[in-house]
Chains A and B, each alone.
Chain A
Amino acid sequence: MNTYFKKKNKTWQKYLPILFLFTLMISITSCYTDYGLTTADYDVVVTNYDKTTDYDTLKTFTVVDSVLHIKGDEEDLITRQFDNLIISTVRTNMRDLGYTEIPNPTEQDKPKVVIMIHALGSQVDQYYYGGYYPGWGWGWGWGGYYPGYVGKSTYYVGTIFIDYIDVDASEKDPNDNLVIPWYATINGLLNAGGTESRVTNSINQAFDQSPYLEIK
């Protein structure tokens, strides 16, 4: 009896290293590492500029005194709590770049640049499907087979659009289109905390990554 168990144990021990290696491999391997992102890690700032514009000639600006919330017939998902913060942060950045503000423009005292700010809230529904197993991180997807839908999560996303409008060029545009040589789009999670600092940092980032706007 004892001999039998000894033999059995020996056989089992022979496979221990394989089992150990296999367990190690599975535990370290998943397709997509969770980097423990914070809410701010989901903020994205995109700026685009026209290289043919001579920004040095556009020395004065006005910021439209309200943020336009784009909502159509839908409920406005974005609070107006941060509108003043957004406007004041944009004004500060423009002044820091060397622009002179014209707070109350008239026909005689027109700014070269008008800054318009829009905000848009969106609901994003994310659907989860079977075939994802924690630890493996990969489904049995041979041949494109997917097991059925298993869940849904909803989150809200806010986008701020900052348009830098060239007033003279817009007035001369033959198609009456606004000429926007620079714009910034800032995208981030809504209702996720830290909004005030995230909005401020993202607007500052938009101007920081656009050094060509500076008046020399």
Chain B
Amino acid sequence: MKIKYLTIILLFLSMNLFAQDFLGIISYNTALPTGKTSDYISDYSWKGFSFEGRSFTNRNWTFGGMFGWNIFDTKITDLIQIDDETTGTTIKGTQLRYTNSFPMMLNGHYHFGKRKSSVRPFMGLGMGTYYIVQRFEIGIFQREVSNWHFGLAPEAGVLVALSRSTSLIFSVKYNYAFSSGKTVYGDTDNTQSYVGINLGLAFFGY
């Protein structure tokens, strides 16, 4: 629990420490699930957004924080088969599966080119927590688990200037949440990961 509050406090502090040369970003996020996230829900996610703040410490480097929300969901009717040595169980029903991921991260980015360049590629790394809620529904039955994960998020993207103070931002971010707690099925390996593909607007404040 402490890590949750610490991250939130640091996130806001990081946004306010450097009042000058600030970059505020609001993004529409889509995501391709990978690994165990994909094992549970393989459908591409078209639902998500994030808010981010970056402060320039010099011409190229920024430090800041972000908060996001990605939603994965699917409806499937596949059979569920559970086997042990002597018995086998088969379950048929409409399954609704959901994963809600809330990344809260501190991050650093290196922006190539000059401050006034119209196109500025960047690379960065986020570090912080993911609050991930998994929910499984079949018939009238449902089960939900939620866990806080430590996570890393390397990112690459580009800023394309639309005006002096506004840019279009496109980025690809690999979200990796280290295992924490159990999955909705009770599996102890609860590593979650997905590739976020994000499009948004960035606003410069000087």
Q: What is the interface of chain A, defined by CB distance below 8 A to chain B?
A: 17-18, 21-22, 24-25, 28-33, 35, 37, 41-52, 124, 138, 155, 157, 187-189, 205, 209-210
Contacts and interface: CB of A to CB of B under 8 A. Distances in A.
B135 interface: yes
Interface string B94-135: 101010100000000000000000000000000000000101
A84 to B, nearest CB: 24
Contacts of B139: 42-44, 187-188
Interface of B: 26, 28, 46-49, 69, 71, 73, 75, 79, 85-94, 96, 98, 100, 133, 135, 138-141, 166, 200-201, 203
Name the 9 nearest CB pairs between A and B, nearest first: A44-B139, A44-B93, A25-B49, A41-B94, A45-B92, A48-B89, A209-B90, A35-B75, A47-B90
A48 B84 CA distance: 11
Given A32-B98, A33-B96, A41-B94, 16 more contacts: A18-B203, A21-B26, A21-B28, A21-B200, A21-B201, A24-B28, A25-B26, A25-B28, A44-B92, A44-B93, A45-B91, A48-B87, A50-B86, A50-B87, A157-B140, A210-B90
A209 B88 CA distance: 11
Given A18-B201, A21-B200, A157-B140, A29 B88 contact: no
Chain A's interface: helix, strand, loop or mixed, by majority? Answer: mixed
Contacts of A47: 89-90
Chain B's interface: helix, strand, loop or mixed, by majority? Answer: strand
Nearest to A51: B86
A189 B140 CA distance: 8
Contacts of B47: 28-29
A188 B133 CA distance: 27
A103 B139 CA distance: 35
Contacts of A41: 93-94
A28 B69 CA distance: 11
A133 B75 CA distance: 23
Contacts of A52: 86
B89 A17 contact: no
Given A21-B26, A21-B201, A33-B73, A42 B89 contact: no
